[in-house]
Amino acid sequence: MAAASNLQSEDQFLCSICLDVFTDPVSTSCGHNFCKNCITEHWNTSDRCQCPMCKEAFTIRPYLKVNTFITEMVVQFRQSAQQKTSSSSSQKRCAKPGEVPCDVCTGTKLKAMKSCLVCLASYCETHLEPHLTMSGLKKHQLIDPVENLEDRMCTKHDKPLELFCKTDQTCICMLCLVLDHKTHDFVPLKEQYEGKKAELGKTEAEIQQMIQKRRLKIQEIKHSVDLSEEDADREIAEGVQVFTALKESVERGLANLIDTIKENERATEKQAEAFIKELEQEISELTKRRTEVEQLSRSEDHLHLLQSVQSLKAAPPTKDWTEVNVRPSYEGTVRRTVAQLEETLSKEMKKLLEDELKRIQQYAVDVKVDPDTAHPELILSDEEKQVNHGDVRMNLPDNPKRFSDCACVLGKQSFCSGRFYFEVQVKGKTQWDFGVARESINRKGRITLSPQDGYWTICLRNGNEYKAATSPPVSLSLKSRPQKVGVFVDYEEGLVSFYDVDAAALIYSFTGCCFTEKLFPYFCPDLNDGRKNSAPLIISPVNQAE
């Protein structure tokens, strides 16, 4: 137990928000600890409920209970620290290099506890006693020990520096004020000190906040590295599994191809042997008839020749071998085998995309459209999940956030880090645009959809023409018309991808993007077009079922 207590350090008991020892420590479901007031105040001022350390998001703010085990550990730590402090302070020790020695001690100089601005001397605990007990010395001004007390005297008048000249920004004595700084603006040294101390306190708080943010960022980066390692291991394992399956499939295909060709070759040899045997039999029969004809042709018996010729004519005719061919055709055998491999590869690709889609759906966020940004001709549902064009321009107050000419609207939520995903139902529509846009986009007048102008979107035109809004636009060839499209963004990776949710197929990806400001979901249902395009764009709930 003693060995375990030696491993305890202050860092183990520091809240990563206030950077102080825990007060009423609570634990989140992801396993990180904070002061109860710190995490509550952090969530109250943040637009997202997530762990400051690992960025895990909570759909419902967790109910926090004080962690009694950590509380007891903190109490023990505080008591131990106090005991160490009391023990060290009770022991008098000699002044070390860099510490102020007592000016009264002879021989071994003890460490000074205070310096007197009146006596211009520093005193250890023993020699300080008169200044704490004697009435005459009690009025002297004591400060934390400092060296070179003579520097606190005016070099010109040999008087204590008691005032601060604001005009010359320097410390002065009473004679300086009368003789050299008579018309200057001055204040007591203490008043200037308190003002500067307040400024320093503010600066210190700002620096502390900067330190806090950087410590949190370090934890975030470390956590990201851990997640990256897990992702890499998973991807390697999955890649090995997929490529092993493909390799085995190719090897099986090659083996089947060779077997098929060999089997055809054996069948051809067998057929050729049968033909040869039949041909040799016919040759034997024809040779026999040739001998009979030859013998008969030499006969000089008129009657015998005529009677024998009649029997020769009655012999069965031989087979016509002109069209007989035993050469097999291997045309298309390799192509058919490769086609089977291609089908296997397509199935593996579809499975990979299905798994990829399931993974990114874990980053689903609850998106709603922002009425303050909506073009006056757009109609939004009460739950702010649907948008369509209404033909009639409503009388809405103009504001810098609202689109003036183009029938589009932004989401309420903004994102400036991490990953997020949402799905949009486009069923029944003939035209639409959507994706994400940066905060600084132009919202007045006509707009151009392109990454250079702050938009990462895909579009549908004329019912069947799909395009990625690049510069120039890229036509997309899709096997089927998507009914629901998923949008995935990885802020740090600079990636915006669009998926056909039902087909589990990748539609298009913007890669290598450089995001430097907030991103908002962007929606444009386009014009009604005589009610041909009256169906709304619907932000759908994401089905994350396995």
- 387 DSSP 8-state letter: E
- CA–CA distance, 401 with 410 (Å, rounded to integer): 9
CA distances (Å), origin 226, targets 29, 221, 229, 384: 18, 9, 5, 38
What pLDDT sits at residue 90? 45
CA distances (Å), origin 171, targets 142, 152, 164, 165, 182: 19, 9, 4, 6, 14
Sign of CA dihedral 90, 92, 93, 98: positive
Give the DSSP per-residue string, 485-505: EEEEEETTTTEEEEEETTTTE
What pLDDT sits at residue 510? 96
- CA–CA distance, 57 with 50 (Å, rounded to integer): 4
The whole-number mean pLDDT for each consecutive block of 10 residues of the chain, a chain of 546 residues, reads: 48 82 88 89 85 86 86 84 60 76 88 86 90 86 82 80 89 87 87 88 92 90 87 85 82 84 87 89 85 85 80 65 76 77 78 84 94 94 94 86 93 94 95 96 91 96 94 92 95 95 92 95 91 92 70
Helices (H), 119-188: 125-133, 135-138, 174-179
- CA–CA distance, 377 with 407 (Å, rounded to integer): 7
Helix H or strand E encompassing 420? strand 419-425
Residues paired with 66 in a beta bridge: 26
Residues 6 or more apart from 394 whose CB is under 8 A from it? 376, 377
What pLDDT sits at residue 2? 41
Nearest residue to 486 via CA among 499, 467, 469, 504? 499
Q: Are 491 and 458 in contact (CB under 8 A)?
A: no
What pLDDT sits at residue 7? 43
Contacts 24+ apart (CB under 8 A), 149-155: 149/115, 149/117, 149/120, 149/121, 149/122, 150/120, 152/117, 152/120, 153/120
Tokens representing residue 231 in the block: 């992702």
What is the SS3 assignment for 21? strand
Burial class (CB in 10 A: 0-12, 13-18, 19+), 103: middle
What pLDDT sits at residue 377? 93
Burial call 456-492: b when 16+ CB within 10 Å, e when fewer: bbbbbeeeeebbbbbeeeeeeeeeeebebbbbbbbbe
Torsion-angle region of 450 (φ positive above 0: left; ψ -120 to 50: alpha; else: beta): beta
Tokens representing residue 124 in the block: 């250890």
Overall size of the chain counted in residues? 546
- CA–CA distance, 525 with 390 (Å, rounded to integer): 10
What is the layout of strands, in order, in the sheet containing 142-143?
Answer: 121-123, 114-116, 142-143
What pLDDT sits at residue 490? 95
Write down the residue that tokens 């051809």 correspond to. Answer: 268
- CA–CA distance, 342 with 336 (Å, rounded to integer): 10
Give the DSSP per-residue string, 50-74: B-TTT--B-SSPPPP-B-HHHHHHH
Helices (H), 139-188: 174-179
Write down the residue that tokens 């940004």 correspond to. Answer: 373
- CA–CA distance, 124 with 115 (Å, rounded to integer): 9
Helix H or strand E encompassing 4? helix 2-6
